[in-house]
A and B are shown apart, each in its own frame.
Chain A
């Protein structure tokens, strides 16, 4: 049984005063999460140029879930106006994300502090 995916958004500021939108994911990420994830991403205004995906509260990601993340990142890469960072992944999924080439489209960080420091 899979946990429902929920998404919350919030905005934080870096030490340099720049604002970054955080998309906090919760539950399991699978094919059933597609609408929730893509809607949350598409809801972001055009002015949002920096996005961090927070996976801290994500329990499990299957291959279809990874494909959705890649789809989001490819969209961002195609538009060329938005940079995306990812943090909060377990070491297992950090390796999986790297393996499938996500690191080419998004920077991977251990936690929020590291992600904000690198922003």
Chain B
């Protein structure tokens, strides 16, 4: 019966002007053959009785790859007696209108290109007509949506209203089955991104969480927009301006994540590439939407722009791994998955074009019952699993380290507070003011003052490293200073140098030692520390190696005489190397400019500029008159 109807239909479509519809195989009948078509737009073409015999006859569901205005007409002979009928038209919503015997149906309507969808089934109830109906489709396919699947193909079915409603539901079911599993996986990726962003809030020093979170959220919304647009659930423009456009920021997030993960700064070359990735939205997407660039050229440029990131990051991970960054190997598999997915899709498409039928199945969706999954859906799922494992391992390692560092910090802070708690000691006529601002980590700044035989010995220094190791080194040095009874600065430095060289744990420190005699004679010796400032001018001291570097190091003494009210300012490099958010150093010039201010003001200025390390400022004012007045 079905074959007979089809044969009859084919024969009549060629030889006659109208297509008879006398039977409803499977409840409805396809009406894809026998249509006459003409490009352009003329309202008269909707009228019944219009002579379209000069128009070529076509099959409606054959892709014709066109864009713009076009009309299709078909004359249908209906049974003399029939129940209410309906059409099921499959076409892009917003790209066509339906006319029955010259009368425009209220739905569907033409819409602006931004609101047009890819093909989906639309039910059009037929008004009461006699035994003949002239169906006309007035279509306007935007240039931008013709690239989608089916390339402008249309399909029409006719039948009793309940049967067409069933057919519409079946079509909807097929679209949902093909879309929902992929959307569900993407939602899983999206909701995995949210806790990753929360991890960044928990461990803000670890920017890899921020970038991975943004990547997961961005990539999942991109996939969802793509899948919903491809199946006609949302306007195709959302695929164009969201899914296509977010490809590039997502790649930037992937680059930033990879560099953050291994803990290195993004190099200049990659920064330039990232800047380049921001350009396509303006220079590719919009011109292509407006028709200035063909979709083929756009796709090619998309591939050329994104392939270097995929391949380059993988190569970079391997290089880092060979250089000893073991954790970079964890990312190799997750980074490969999106590439493999793209390769499978491309190979599948290529095999169909090149006739490689034996491997043409490679790009086919995986069928699970009525549902289907695309290769990129499976790659997304595997990527999520792999990256989930990687981030779990990273998070537990970082948490362990943080707990250990917190305990270490607390212990080190206790040691340092104990060592530096005493107020500077000075002879009468010498006023010492000191400020110590530790950085977030325990640093290695220290200062010490003691009166020996009527003179005051002041020592300022900075040991290498941070944390507990630095605190222990400070404790060794300050402990030694308590026991060294000589006030001769060079001798003090020699003893400290020997002490550090004899330590099994090693370590070194810059150190400046000053001795002020009651008559104002100042003797200085320096071991690689910042020279002091006298009344805002830097004192020139002979250079010397830091303590703990060499047994042969020599520390020369410099002697000068302080005038009443002279002020000496001793600093640690936390002042000079304070850094602005842009990376600019506070520097020697600014330090000299503020060196005449109080210790508190100097420390505050450096801290406000951008504290990176411990800040120690010690000022020493020679005021012998205060002794006389006392």
Partners in one complex: yes
Residues on A facing B (Cβ under 8 Å) = 1-4, 27-28, 31, 35, 59, 63-64, 67, 70-71, 74, 92, 95, 98-104
Task: Kindly provide the distance from the CB of A55 to the nearest chain B CB, expressed in whole angstroms.
Answer: 15
CA distance A99 to B587 in the complex (A): 14
Q: Are B263 and A100 closer than 8 Å at their CB atoms?
A: no
Q: Is the interface of A mostly helix, strand, loop or mixed?
A: helix
CA distance A45 to B599 in the complex (A): 51
Q: Is B285 an interface residue (CB 8 A)?
A: no
Closest to A98 in B: B543
Q: Are B464 and A64 closer than 8 Å at their CB atoms?
A: yes
Q: Are B588 and A104 closer than 8 Å at their CB atoms?
A: no
Q: Which residues of A contact B587 (CB under 8 A)?
A: 92
Partner of A2, one of B264, B543, B546: B264
Task: Kindly provide the distance from the CB of A65 to the nearest chain B CB, expressed in whole angstroms.
Answer: 10
- B312-357: which residues lie under 8 A (CB-CB) from chain A? 323-324
Residues on B facing A (Cβ under 8 Å) = 207, 260, 263-265, 267, 323-324, 462, 464-465, 508, 510, 528-531, 543-546, 549-550, 553, 573, 576, 583, 585, 587-588
Partner of B546, one of A27, A35, A100: A100
23 A-B contacts (beta carbon < 8 Å): A1-B207, A1-B260, A1-B265, A2-B265, A4-B323, A27-B264, A35-B324, A63-B573, A67-B464, A67-B546, A70-B549, A71-B549, A92-B585, A99-B528, A99-B529, A99-B543, A100-B510, A100-B546, A101-B528, A101-B545, A101-B553, A103-B543, A104-B543
Closest to B530 in A: A99
Task: Kindly provide the distance from the CB of A100 to the nearest chain B CB, expressed in whole angstroms.
Answer: 4
CA distance A67 to B550 in the complex (A): 11
Taking each of B267, B324, B583, which has the highest tally of chain A beta carbons within 10 Å of its own beta carbon?
B267
Q: Are A4 and B264 closer than 8 Å at their CB atoms?
A: yes
Q: Which 6 A-B pairs have the closest CB atoms?
A: A100-B528, A3-B265, A101-B543, A101-B545, A4-B264, A101-B544
CA distance A1 to B553 in the complex (A): 34
Q: Which residues of A contact B464 (CB under 8 A)?
A: 31, 63-64, 67
Q: Are B588 and A95 closer than 8 Å at their CB atoms?
A: yes
Task: Kindly provide the distance from the CB of A48 to the nearest chain B CB, expressed in whole angstroms.
Answer: 23
CA distance A1 to B208 in the complex (A): 12
Partner of A74, one of B263, B265, B528, B549: B549
Task: Kindly provide the distance from the CB of A59 to the nearest chain B CB, expressed in whole angstroms.
Answer: 8
Q: Which residues of A contact B265 (CB under 8 A)?
A: 1-4, 27-28
Taking each of A64, A70, A74, A101, which has the highest tally of chain B beta carbons within 10 Å of its own beta carbon?
A101
Partner of A67, one of B267, B508, B530: B508
Q: Are B508 and A74 closer than 8 Å at their CB atoms?
A: no
Q: Which residues of B contact A59 (CB under 8 A)?
A: 583
Q: Which residues of B contact A27 (CB under 8 A)?
A: 264-265
Q: Which residues of A contact B553 (CB under 8 A)?
A: 101
Task: Kindly provide the distance from the CB of A44 to the nearest chain B CB, expressed in whole angstroms.
Answer: 20
CA distance A27 to B323 in the complex (A): 15
Q: Which residues of A contact B510 (CB under 8 A)?
A: 63, 100
Closest to B205 in A: A1
